[in-house]
Structures are given as structure tokens and as C-alpha cells.
Copies of this chain bind each other. A is one copy, B any other.
Amino acid sequence: PKIVVLPGDGIGPEIVASAIEVLKVVAPDLEYDEHKFGGASIDAYGEPFTAATQEAVKNADAVLLGSIGGAQDSHWNTLPRHLRPESGLLALRKALGVYANLRPIKVYEGMEHLSPLKPELARGVDVLVVRELLGGVYFDPERWINEMEGFNAMRYKKHEVERIARVAFKAAQGRRNKVTSVDKANVLEVSEFWRREVVRVRESEYSDVALNHEYVDSVAMLLVTNPSRYDVIVTENLFGDILSDLGAVLPGSLGLMPSASLGDGAGLYEPIHGSAPDIAGQGIANPTATILSAALMLRYSLNRPEAADRIDAAILRALNENPTKDLGGSAGTQEFTQTVLQLLK
């Protein structure tokens, strides 16, 4: 199987290198095809996602991405919108057709003290956020900015809601069988439509899964005051962006949080966190999120659940035995990676 590797910017290259070291132990037959992406590609070729890289991802079995973008005042942020690092990421998601972004949020036993929440609230949190990734205001072609106004369109069509709802219900069947669909149906027509389609998919295909509906503002509160109430959360692109980031801080470090973006072809795997330009090149970034993303890749795109389980188990022990700086420990990126490799042997 061929993995396209996009290290990206900032700490991206360091953490992706760690993930590949780990992959080489549990899945030695994988082939890697590395390309510049995001800011690194802009600096080398003038655009974040070149035709050559587009070609490469089309022929990949899976794509492993580090992180993209620079600091607020980076020279990349003054470029026209379509040439910025973020536009490369959106175009990559579109090119791969990955409409379902899965972000597991898990507070590990014994690590509750890392959470910003009181330990009794953090304990046992285990939520899967399923974010629609190719629709809504992010991609709708009706969009403009001029002297007088800025405009974006929040639109969802039947097949877009259908396919993401299926992903959520199916995921819930492998978990605690409960889906919470998040919208703002008391105000927005697009949400009313979303809710109606989610209900329809459940009734015709997944009537064994429990479904409830909550408003996005209410979920923002409850993710803080009572996160354990959720099993699978499914929501549209923008709400999913906000809520999955909010949820991602509960375990105590963004450095722990992987993601998988799935469509009908190759999947895209990346840590939730950004490129952390402030600590790039210092060898102190926590590679956990990227290594766990690689495990998700083994699970979802390569159908190797045992290899994924091995990584998950090794990470859990390594986090306890030799934690990185963001977790209050002292291990650097390489030291932590070596601990994981030892534990895999």
C-alpha cells in the first residue's frame, strides 16, 4: 500500500517522522511518497497544493498529514486567499472527497488531572465527533467580498446529510449506540433540513440507534459541564469545527488528539492541532496525535486493526512512563518516540 506523506509546516515534519518510525515497526511493507504541502509548498512552488501533489494523492491508499500554516503574522497570511496554506488543506479534502471527519475525544484513565475541567467532570469522557467536512459555508460556491459586504452561503443538500448521518450511525453501533445530532434548528432553515434528513436516515436504516437533537449553543455548554453524556456527536462543517476543537481540549493537551477524514476513496489522517510555529524545530513537540492518526489509518484505510491496537496500547503506556513536556513530563519528541518503539518490541 502506498501512503502519501505531507509533513507540512512548523512541527509537522518532526511529528510525521515519528509516526513513520512507528509505522515501520508495525507495518513494514508500507511505501511512502513524500510531498511538500501548505506553506512549505508555497515557498518552494508558489502554491500550497501543486498539480504533482494532487496527482500523487489521487493514487494513494491513504494520506498522512502533519500540520500546516504559520504564525498570525506569517508572510503566508498576506497572500490572496486561494494561495494560502488553509486553502491547500480545503482543496486536499475536496480532492480526496473526504466528507466525514472523525475526531475521537478520550480522557485516559489516570490522566484526568491534565484536563482543564475538574477531574470528576473529565473522568471517563469518550466522545466521537463526526464532522461533515465538504459542505456548508466552507465550500459553497456562492461567496464574495466587496466594498459593501461579505457573503457566504450555508447550504446542505440531501445526499450530503445522508452520507454523513450514515457514518455517525454506523460508528455508534460499534460504540454505545447513541447519536446526538447538533444543529440550530430553532433559527436556521438549513438546520431544519439537516435534522429532518438525519431523522429519515435513522428511521429507514438505523432504527436500533438512539438519536437525539441538541442546539449548538447548548452543546457548547454541555461539553464543558457534562461531557460524559455524549457518545457520538454528528454535525455540519462549521459547528463541527468549533465543537470538535472545544472537545479536543478536554483531555488536557491537543498533542493527544488524532483525526481521520473519510470518503469513498483514500482517507486523510492528521493531528487536530496546528503547526505550533513557536516550538517548531526544538524537538519538543508531542508526536502522539500524529502517531494515533497513523493508527487510525491502519484501522480505517488499510484494514489492519491489530497493528492499530498495538500502537494504541504502546502509546497509552508511553504516555504514563515517559510523558512529553505538554503533559508535565520531560520527554522530547525523539525520546518519546523511542519509548513507543521499545514498547512495541
Binding site for B on A (CB under 8 A): 72, 81, 84, 86, 90, 116-118, 121, 137-138, 143-145, 147-158, 184, 186-194, 213, 216-218, 220-221, 224-225, 238-239, 241-243, 245-246, 248-250, 254
Cα–Cα, bound, A326→B334 (Å): 48
Q: How far is the CB of A93 from chain B (nearest CB, A)?
A: 12
In contact, A149 and B138 (Cβ under 8 angstroms): no
Cα–Cα, bound, A72→B180 (Å): 14
Contacts A118-B118, A137-B188, A187-B86; A150 near B144 (Cβ below 8 A) = no
In contact, B225 and A116 (Cβ under 8 angstroms): yes
Besides A116-B118, A184-B238, 14 new A-B residue pairs in contact (Cβ under 8 A), listed by A number: A90-B187, A116-B121, A116-B224, A117-B224, A138-B187, A149-B158, A150-B156, A150-B192, A152-B153, A153-B153, A216-B241, A217-B245, A217-B246, A225-B249
**20 A-B pairs, CB-CB below 8 angstroms?**
A86-B187, A137-B187, A145-B190, A145-B193, A147-B158, A148-B157, A149-B155, A149-B157, A149-B158, A150-B155, A150-B190, A150-B192, A150-B194, A151-B154, A153-B154, A218-B245, A220-B246, A224-B224, A224-B246, A242-B242
Contacts A186-B86, A242-B220; A151 near B155 (Cβ below 8 A) = yes
Cα–Cα, bound, A342→B254 (Å): 49
In contact, A143 and B189 (Cβ under 8 angstroms): yes
Cα–Cα, bound, A86→B221 (Å): 19
- Pick from B150, B153, B242: contact of A217, CB below 8 A: B242
Contacts A117-B117, A189-B150; A242 near B216 (Cβ below 8 A) = yes
